[in-house]
Amino acid sequence: MTKEKNKNLSNSVGAVETKYFTFAGPGNELKLESGDILGPVTLAYETYGRLNRDRSNAILVCHALSGDAHAAGIHEGQDNAGWWDDMIGPGKAFDTGIYFVICSNVIAGCRGSTGPSSINPATGKPYAMDFPFITISDMVNAQRHLMDFLGIKRLLCVAGGSMGGMQVLQWVASYPDMVRAAIPIATTKKHSPQQIAFNETARQAIMADPAWRDGNYYGLDQPERGLAVARMIGHITFMSDQSMEEKFSRRLKKGRLNFNFDPEFEVEGYLHYRGANFVKRFDANSYLYLTKALDYFDLSGGKVIPVGKVIDTRFLVISFKSDWLYPSSQSQDIVRLLKRRNMDATYCELNSTYGHDAFLVEVEEQTTLIKHFLDKTHSGYMVADYYGIS
Protein backbone atom coordinates (compact mmCIF):
# COMPACT_ATOMS: atom_id res chain seq x y z
CA MET A 1 0.00 0.00 0.00
CA THR A 2 0.96 3.58 -0.50
CA LYS A 3 3.28 4.69 2.21
CA GLU A 4 5.68 7.56 2.32
CA LYS A 5 8.90 6.83 4.10
CA ASN A 6 8.93 8.36 7.49
CA LYS A 7 11.92 10.68 7.68
CA ASN A 8 11.14 12.02 11.10
CA LEU A 9 12.91 9.69 13.49
CA SER A 10 12.66 11.87 16.59
CA ASN A 11 9.65 9.94 17.87
CA SER A 12 10.57 6.63 16.30
CA VAL A 13 11.05 3.43 18.22
CA GLY A 14 14.49 3.49 16.59
CA ALA A 15 16.45 0.42 15.50
CA VAL A 16 14.50 -2.81 15.83
CA GLU A 17 15.19 -6.45 15.08
CA THR A 18 12.90 -9.15 13.80
CA LYS A 19 12.77 -12.16 16.12
CA TYR A 20 11.63 -15.68 15.39
CA PHE A 21 9.52 -18.10 17.41
CA THR A 22 9.16 -21.72 16.35
CA PHE A 23 6.53 -24.10 17.71
CA ALA A 24 4.21 -26.93 16.63
CA GLY A 25 7.04 -29.44 16.30
CA PRO A 26 6.53 -33.12 15.52
CA GLY A 27 3.53 -34.47 17.41
CA ASN A 28 2.30 -30.96 18.28
CA GLU A 29 1.45 -29.69 14.83
CA LEU A 30 -0.93 -26.78 14.43
CA LYS A 31 -4.40 -28.06 13.56
CA LEU A 32 -5.84 -25.99 10.77
CA GLU A 33 -9.43 -25.04 10.06
CA SER A 34 -9.28 -27.08 6.84
CA GLY A 35 -8.52 -30.22 8.82
CA ASP A 36 -4.89 -30.28 7.70
CA ILE A 37 -1.99 -29.88 10.06
CA LEU A 38 1.09 -27.68 9.83
CA GLY A 39 4.36 -27.93 11.68
CA PRO A 40 6.82 -26.87 12.68
CA VAL A 41 5.63 -23.27 12.46
CA THR A 42 7.87 -20.24 12.69
CA LEU A 43 6.52 -16.76 13.34
CA ALA A 44 8.60 -13.70 12.60
CA TYR A 45 7.73 -10.96 15.09
CA GLU A 46 8.84 -7.63 16.43
CA THR A 47 8.10 -5.90 19.70
CA TYR A 48 8.27 -2.25 20.68
CA GLY A 49 8.13 -0.75 24.16
CA ARG A 50 8.25 -2.69 27.39
CA LEU A 51 5.96 -5.27 28.88
CA ASN A 52 4.97 -4.02 32.34
CA ARG A 53 5.23 -6.06 35.52
CA ASP A 54 1.67 -7.39 35.50
CA ARG A 55 1.77 -7.93 31.71
CA SER A 56 -1.30 -5.79 31.21
CA ASN A 57 -0.04 -3.36 28.59
CA ALA A 58 0.42 -5.64 25.59
CA ILE A 59 -1.09 -4.64 22.24
CA LEU A 60 -1.08 -6.93 19.24
CA VAL A 61 -1.04 -5.14 15.91
CA CYS A 62 -2.12 -7.26 12.93
CA HIS A 63 -0.88 -6.52 9.44
CA ALA A 64 -2.75 -6.42 6.14
CA LEU A 65 -2.30 -8.61 3.05
CA SER A 66 1.14 -7.39 2.03
CA GLY A 67 2.40 -6.31 5.44
CA ASP A 68 4.89 -8.00 7.71
CA ALA A 69 6.21 -8.08 11.25
CA HIS A 70 8.11 -4.84 10.71
CA ALA A 71 5.44 -2.41 11.88
CA ALA A 72 7.62 0.32 13.38
CA GLY A 73 11.15 1.64 13.65
CA ILE A 74 13.95 0.80 11.26
CA HIS A 75 16.20 -2.16 10.73
CA GLU A 76 19.90 -1.52 11.27
CA GLY A 77 21.53 -0.34 8.06
CA GLN A 78 18.25 0.17 6.23
CA ASP A 79 16.10 3.22 5.97
CA ASN A 80 12.59 1.89 5.41
CA ALA A 81 10.42 2.47 8.44
CA GLY A 82 7.80 -0.09 9.47
CA TRP A 83 4.43 -0.12 7.74
CA TRP A 84 2.62 1.63 10.64
CA ASP A 85 5.53 3.67 11.92
CA ASP A 86 3.40 6.81 11.95
CA MET A 87 1.11 5.16 14.48
CA ILE A 88 3.53 3.21 16.70
CA GLY A 89 6.20 4.95 18.76
CA PRO A 90 6.77 7.22 21.73
CA GLY A 91 3.84 9.63 22.00
CA LYS A 92 2.08 8.15 18.97
CA ALA A 93 -1.33 6.47 18.78
CA PHE A 94 0.14 3.22 20.07
CA ASP A 95 2.43 4.90 22.56
CA THR A 96 5.45 2.69 23.13
CA GLY A 97 6.26 4.76 26.22
CA ILE A 98 3.15 3.18 27.78
CA TYR A 99 2.38 0.03 25.81
CA PHE A 100 4.19 -3.09 24.70
CA VAL A 101 3.37 -3.49 21.02
CA ILE A 102 3.74 -6.78 19.19
CA CYS A 103 3.44 -7.46 15.47
CA SER A 104 3.98 -10.83 13.81
CA ASN A 105 4.02 -11.92 10.19
CA VAL A 106 1.00 -14.14 9.47
CA ILE A 107 1.39 -17.80 8.63
CA ALA A 108 1.26 -18.36 4.87
CA GLY A 109 3.19 -15.09 4.60
CA CYS A 110 6.64 -14.75 3.10
CA ARG A 111 8.39 -12.34 5.44
CA GLY A 112 9.92 -14.74 7.91
CA SER A 113 6.90 -16.77 9.02
CA THR A 114 6.13 -20.24 7.71
CA GLY A 115 4.52 -20.07 4.28
CA PRO A 116 4.55 -21.74 0.88
CA SER A 117 8.14 -20.62 0.25
CA SER A 118 9.34 -22.31 3.48
CA ILE A 119 11.02 -25.71 3.39
CA ASN A 120 8.62 -28.61 3.85
CA PRO A 121 10.36 -30.89 6.39
CA ALA A 122 8.73 -33.90 4.73
CA THR A 123 10.41 -33.29 1.38
CA GLY A 124 13.30 -30.97 2.10
CA LYS A 125 11.95 -28.65 -0.63
CA PRO A 126 9.75 -25.54 -0.50
CA TYR A 127 6.12 -26.39 0.17
CA ALA A 128 4.84 -24.54 -2.89
CA MET A 129 1.33 -25.86 -3.58
CA ASP A 130 1.71 -28.56 -0.93
CA PHE A 131 1.27 -25.82 1.62
CA PRO A 132 -2.07 -26.32 3.38
CA PHE A 133 -4.86 -23.79 3.01
CA ILE A 134 -4.80 -21.24 5.81
CA THR A 135 -7.66 -19.19 7.23
CA ILE A 136 -7.73 -16.02 9.30
CA SER A 137 -8.59 -18.20 12.27
CA ASP A 138 -5.41 -20.26 11.70
CA MET A 139 -3.37 -17.04 11.64
CA VAL A 140 -4.89 -16.03 14.95
CA ASN A 141 -4.27 -19.46 16.49
CA ALA A 142 -0.62 -19.15 15.56
CA GLN A 143 -0.49 -15.67 17.14
CA ARG A 144 -2.07 -17.15 20.25
CA HIS A 145 0.93 -19.49 20.54
CA LEU A 146 3.21 -16.48 20.34
CA MET A 147 1.26 -14.77 23.15
CA ASP A 148 1.65 -17.89 25.29
CA PHE A 149 5.37 -17.85 24.57
CA LEU A 150 5.60 -14.18 25.54
CA GLY A 151 3.64 -14.91 28.73
CA ILE A 152 0.71 -12.66 27.82
CA LYS A 153 -2.59 -13.97 29.15
CA ARG A 154 -4.70 -11.02 28.14
CA LEU A 155 -4.08 -8.44 25.46
CA LEU A 156 -4.95 -4.87 26.29
CA CYS A 157 -5.85 -4.45 22.65
CA VAL A 158 -5.76 -6.13 19.26
CA ALA A 159 -5.73 -3.67 16.37
CA GLY A 160 -5.35 -3.72 12.63
CA GLY A 161 -6.71 -2.59 9.28
CA SER A 162 -8.07 -4.55 6.33
CA MET A 163 -6.88 -8.18 6.70
CA GLY A 164 -5.47 -7.04 10.04
CA GLY A 165 -8.98 -5.97 11.04
CA MET A 166 -10.28 -9.43 10.20
CA GLN A 167 -7.70 -10.89 12.54
CA VAL A 168 -8.95 -8.47 15.21
CA LEU A 169 -12.51 -9.75 14.82
CA GLN A 170 -11.26 -13.33 14.72
CA TRP A 171 -9.35 -12.77 17.96
CA VAL A 172 -12.60 -11.72 19.62
CA ALA A 173 -14.41 -14.72 18.14
CA SER A 174 -11.70 -17.24 19.06
CA TYR A 175 -10.33 -15.89 22.33
CA PRO A 176 -12.78 -13.29 23.65
CA ASP A 177 -11.45 -13.49 27.18
CA MET A 178 -7.97 -12.59 25.97
CA VAL A 179 -9.02 -9.36 24.27
CA ARG A 180 -9.67 -6.33 26.46
CA ALA A 181 -10.19 -4.01 23.53
CA ALA A 182 -10.50 -4.42 19.79
CA ILE A 183 -9.81 -1.90 17.03
CA PRO A 184 -10.94 -3.23 13.66
CA ILE A 185 -10.21 -0.67 10.95
CA ALA A 186 -11.44 -0.54 7.33
CA THR A 187 -12.52 -4.14 7.45
CA THR A 188 -15.45 -6.53 7.28
CA LYS A 189 -16.86 -9.49 9.13
CA LYS A 190 -17.27 -11.38 5.87
CA HIS A 191 -15.61 -11.08 2.49
CA SER A 192 -18.10 -9.94 -0.13
CA PRO A 193 -18.46 -11.33 -3.66
CA GLN A 194 -16.87 -8.15 -5.00
CA GLN A 195 -13.87 -8.62 -2.73
CA ILE A 196 -13.60 -12.29 -3.68
CA ALA A 197 -13.84 -11.32 -7.35
CA PHE A 198 -10.90 -8.92 -7.14
CA ASN A 199 -8.86 -11.57 -5.36
CA GLU A 200 -9.71 -14.25 -7.90
CA THR A 201 -8.67 -11.91 -10.71
CA ALA A 202 -5.37 -11.35 -8.94
CA ARG A 203 -4.85 -15.07 -8.45
CA GLN A 204 -5.63 -15.80 -12.08
CA ALA A 205 -3.09 -13.19 -13.16
CA ILE A 206 -0.42 -15.04 -11.19
CA MET A 207 -1.47 -18.50 -12.30
CA ALA A 208 -1.71 -17.46 -15.95
CA ASP A 209 1.96 -16.47 -15.93
CA PRO A 210 3.95 -19.39 -17.47
CA ALA A 211 6.67 -18.65 -14.92
CA TRP A 212 4.29 -19.73 -12.14
CA ARG A 213 4.83 -23.43 -13.16
CA ASP A 214 2.01 -24.70 -10.95
CA GLY A 215 3.71 -23.03 -8.04
CA ASN A 216 7.05 -24.79 -8.47
CA TYR A 217 9.18 -21.80 -9.38
CA TYR A 218 11.46 -21.78 -6.35
CA GLY A 219 15.08 -21.72 -7.47
CA LEU A 220 13.91 -20.09 -10.70
CA ASP A 221 12.42 -16.65 -11.37
CA GLN A 222 9.08 -16.13 -9.70
CA PRO A 223 6.05 -15.25 -11.85
CA GLU A 224 6.89 -11.58 -11.74
CA ARG A 225 4.57 -10.41 -14.47
CA GLY A 226 1.56 -12.18 -13.02
CA LEU A 227 2.31 -11.05 -9.49
CA ALA A 228 2.87 -7.47 -10.67
CA VAL A 229 -0.51 -7.44 -12.42
CA ALA A 230 -2.12 -8.87 -9.29
CA ARG A 231 -0.59 -6.05 -7.29
CA MET A 232 -1.64 -3.43 -9.83
CA ILE A 233 -5.23 -4.59 -9.46
CA GLY A 234 -4.79 -4.34 -5.72
CA HIS A 235 -3.49 -0.78 -5.88
CA ILE A 236 -6.45 0.33 -7.98
CA THR A 237 -8.77 -0.95 -5.25
CA PHE A 238 -6.75 0.75 -2.50
CA MET A 239 -7.24 4.22 -3.99
CA SER A 240 -10.37 6.29 -4.57
CA ASP A 241 -11.44 7.96 -7.79
CA GLN A 242 -10.77 11.29 -6.13
CA SER A 243 -7.33 10.39 -4.79
CA MET A 244 -6.31 9.12 -8.25
CA GLU A 245 -7.56 12.34 -9.82
CA GLU A 246 -5.56 14.37 -7.32
CA LYS A 247 -2.46 12.24 -7.58
CA PHE A 248 -2.34 11.65 -11.36
CA SER A 249 -5.22 13.31 -13.17
CA ARG A 250 -4.52 12.61 -16.87
CA ARG A 251 -0.93 13.77 -16.60
CA LEU A 252 1.50 12.21 -19.05
CA LYS A 253 4.90 10.83 -18.11
CA LYS A 254 6.60 12.45 -21.09
CA GLY A 255 4.35 15.46 -21.45
CA ARG A 256 2.84 14.28 -24.74
CA LEU A 257 1.13 11.28 -26.27
CA ASN A 258 3.49 8.83 -27.96
CA PHE A 259 0.89 6.49 -29.39
CA ASN A 260 2.46 3.31 -28.09
CA PHE A 261 1.79 0.77 -25.36
CA ASP A 262 4.46 1.91 -22.95
CA PRO A 263 3.07 3.48 -19.80
CA GLU A 264 2.12 6.93 -21.09
CA PHE A 265 -0.09 8.20 -18.31
CA GLU A 266 1.33 8.81 -14.86
CA VAL A 267 -1.22 6.48 -13.36
CA GLU A 268 0.11 3.69 -15.58
CA GLY A 269 3.66 4.45 -14.53
CA TYR A 270 2.62 4.37 -10.89
CA LEU A 271 0.98 0.98 -11.20
CA HIS A 272 4.00 -0.44 -13.05
CA TYR A 273 6.31 0.95 -10.40
CA ARG A 274 4.20 -0.52 -7.60
CA GLY A 275 4.01 -3.88 -9.35
CA ALA A 276 7.74 -4.02 -10.07
CA ASN A 277 8.62 -3.10 -6.48
CA PHE A 278 6.23 -5.62 -5.02
CA VAL A 279 7.67 -8.66 -6.82
CA LYS A 280 11.04 -7.92 -5.20
CA ARG A 281 9.68 -8.46 -1.73
CA PHE A 282 6.67 -10.73 -2.00
CA ASP A 283 6.22 -14.39 -2.89
CA ALA A 284 3.56 -15.13 -5.52
CA ASN A 285 2.36 -18.30 -3.82
CA SER A 286 1.94 -16.42 -0.54
CA TYR A 287 -0.26 -13.96 -2.42
CA LEU A 288 -2.39 -16.88 -3.62
CA TYR A 289 -2.76 -18.38 -0.15
CA LEU A 290 -3.34 -15.11 1.66
CA THR A 291 -6.02 -13.91 -0.76
CA LYS A 292 -7.72 -17.28 -0.26
CA ALA A 293 -7.61 -16.76 3.51
CA LEU A 294 -9.34 -13.40 2.99
CA ASP A 295 -12.01 -14.97 0.79
CA TYR A 296 -12.74 -17.73 3.28
CA PHE A 297 -13.30 -15.16 6.02
CA ASP A 298 -16.90 -15.14 7.20
CA LEU A 299 -17.87 -14.32 10.76
CA SER A 300 -21.46 -13.51 9.88
CA GLY A 301 -24.38 -14.97 11.78
CA GLY A 302 -23.20 -13.81 15.18
CA LYS A 303 -19.89 -15.65 15.04
CA VAL A 304 -17.89 -12.61 16.16
CA ILE A 305 -19.49 -12.84 19.58
CA PRO A 306 -20.94 -16.31 20.14
CA VAL A 307 -24.58 -16.13 21.29
CA GLY A 308 -24.91 -16.43 25.03
CA LYS A 309 -21.27 -15.53 25.57
CA VAL A 310 -20.83 -12.51 27.81
CA ILE A 311 -17.67 -10.62 26.97
CA ASP A 312 -16.37 -7.27 28.11
CA THR A 313 -14.27 -6.38 25.09
CA ARG A 314 -14.52 -2.71 24.18
CA PHE A 315 -14.58 -1.84 20.49
CA LEU A 316 -13.34 1.04 18.41
CA VAL A 317 -14.48 0.57 14.81
CA ILE A 318 -13.05 2.92 12.19
CA SER A 319 -13.92 3.24 8.51
CA PHE A 320 -13.16 5.75 5.78
CA LYS A 321 -15.72 7.49 3.63
CA SER A 322 -13.89 6.98 0.32
CA ASP A 323 -12.91 3.36 0.94
CA TRP A 324 -14.83 1.34 -1.64
CA LEU A 325 -12.86 -1.88 -1.19
CA TYR A 326 -13.93 -2.24 2.45
CA PRO A 327 -16.76 0.28 2.45
CA SER A 328 -18.21 1.89 5.57
CA SER A 329 -21.34 -0.21 5.12
CA GLN A 330 -19.29 -3.25 6.12
CA SER A 331 -18.02 -1.52 9.26
CA GLN A 332 -21.61 -0.49 9.98
CA ASP A 333 -22.56 -4.18 9.80
CA ILE A 334 -20.04 -4.81 12.55
CA VAL A 335 -21.49 -1.90 14.52
CA ARG A 336 -25.04 -3.25 14.16
CA LEU A 337 -23.86 -6.51 15.64
CA LEU A 338 -22.24 -4.66 18.55
CA LYS A 339 -25.49 -2.82 19.21
CA ARG A 340 -27.49 -6.04 19.15
CA ARG A 341 -25.15 -7.37 21.79
CA ASN A 342 -25.11 -4.15 23.84
CA MET A 343 -21.36 -3.88 23.57
CA ASP A 344 -19.44 -0.84 24.75
CA ALA A 345 -18.27 0.53 21.43
CA THR A 346 -17.28 3.55 19.41
CA TYR A 347 -17.62 3.82 15.66
CA CYS A 348 -16.30 6.63 13.52
CA GLU A 349 -16.32 7.02 9.77
CA LEU A 350 -13.44 9.33 8.97
CA ASN A 351 -13.80 11.76 6.16
CA SER A 352 -10.78 10.79 4.08
CA THR A 353 -10.34 10.86 0.32
CA TYR A 354 -7.55 8.26 0.28
CA GLY A 355 -9.74 5.21 -0.20
CA HIS A 356 -8.68 1.99 1.47
CA ASP A 357 -5.12 3.31 1.82
CA ALA A 358 -6.45 5.78 4.39
CA PHE A 359 -5.83 3.43 7.29
CA LEU A 360 -2.11 3.76 6.59
CA VAL A 361 -1.98 7.45 5.78
CA GLU A 362 -4.70 9.20 7.81
CA VAL A 363 -2.58 9.49 10.92
CA GLU A 364 -3.93 12.49 12.80
CA GLU A 365 -7.58 11.56 13.27
CA GLN A 366 -6.87 7.88 13.82
CA THR A 367 -4.31 8.90 16.43
CA THR A 368 -6.83 11.00 18.34
CA LEU A 369 -9.36 8.17 18.39
CA ILE A 370 -6.95 5.34 19.19
CA LYS A 371 -4.84 7.20 21.73
CA HIS A 372 -7.82 8.24 23.87
CA PHE A 373 -9.61 4.94 23.41
CA LEU A 374 -6.53 3.06 24.65
CA ASP A 375 -6.03 5.51 27.47
CA LYS A 376 -9.58 4.91 28.68
CA THR A 377 -9.14 1.15 28.36
CA HIS A 378 -5.78 1.08 30.10
CA SER A 379 -6.77 3.31 32.99
CA GLY A 380 -8.58 0.37 34.53
CA TYR A 381 -12.14 1.32 33.69
CA MET A 382 -14.05 -1.96 33.84
CA VAL A 383 -17.14 -2.56 31.75
CA ALA A 384 -18.05 -6.10 32.74
CA ASP A 385 -21.83 -6.44 32.61
CA TYR A 386 -21.90 -2.94 31.28
CA TYR A 387 -25.34 -3.15 29.78
CA GLY A 388 -26.68 -6.36 31.27
CA ILE A 389 -25.78 -8.35 28.18
CA SER A 390 -28.50 -10.70 27.00
Q: Which residues bind other proteins (CB under 8 A)?
A: 314, 316, 332, 335-337, 339-340, 342, 344-351, 365, 368-369, 372-373, 375-376, 381, 383, 386-388, 390
Catalytic residue status for 323? yes
Nearest to other proteins of 241, 375 (CB atom): 375
Nearest to other proteins of 179, 227 (CB atom): 179
Nearest to other proteins of 196, 383 (CB atom): 383
Residues 60 and 155: beta-carbon distance below 8 Å: yes
Residue 318 neighbours by CB distance under 10 Å: 27
Concatenating the DSSP letter of every residue in 140-158 gives: HHHHHHHHHHHT-SSBSEE
CB of 185 to other proteins, least distance (A): 14
CB of 342 to other proteins, least distance (A): 5
Catalytic residue status for 235? no
Distance (Å, rounded) from C-alpha 26 to C-alpha 134?
19
Active-site choice (323, 328, 331, 357): 323
Concatenating the DSSP letter of every residue in 293-324 gives: HHHH-B-TTTTSS-TT-----EEEEEEETT-S
Identity at 256, one-letter amino acid code:
R
Active-site choice (104, 162, 240, 319): 162
CB of 328 to other proteins, least distance (A): 9
Catalytic residue status for 356? yes
What's the alpha-carbon Rg for the chain, to the nearest Å? 21
Active-site choice (63, 145, 191, 356): 356
CB of 365 to other proteins, least distance (A): 7
Nearest to other proteins of 220, 382 (CB atom): 382
Distance (Å, rounded) from C-alpha 128 to C-alpha 135?
17
CB of 335 to other proteins, least distance (A): 6
- Which H or E run contains 268? helix 266-281
Nearest to other proteins of 122, 307 (CB atom): 307
Beta bridge pairs of residue 81: none
CB of 88 to other proteins, least distance (A): 19
Q: Which of 20, 18, 19, 83 is nearest to 360 (CA)?
A: 83
Nearest to other proteins of 348, 363 (CB atom): 348
How many CA atoms lie within 13 Å of 326's alpha carbon, on the beta-carbon side? 31
| SS (HEC) of 22-74 | EECCCCCCEECCCCCEECCEEEEEEEECCCCCCCCCEEEEECCCCCCCCCCCE
Catalytic residue numbers, as ranges: 162, 323, 356
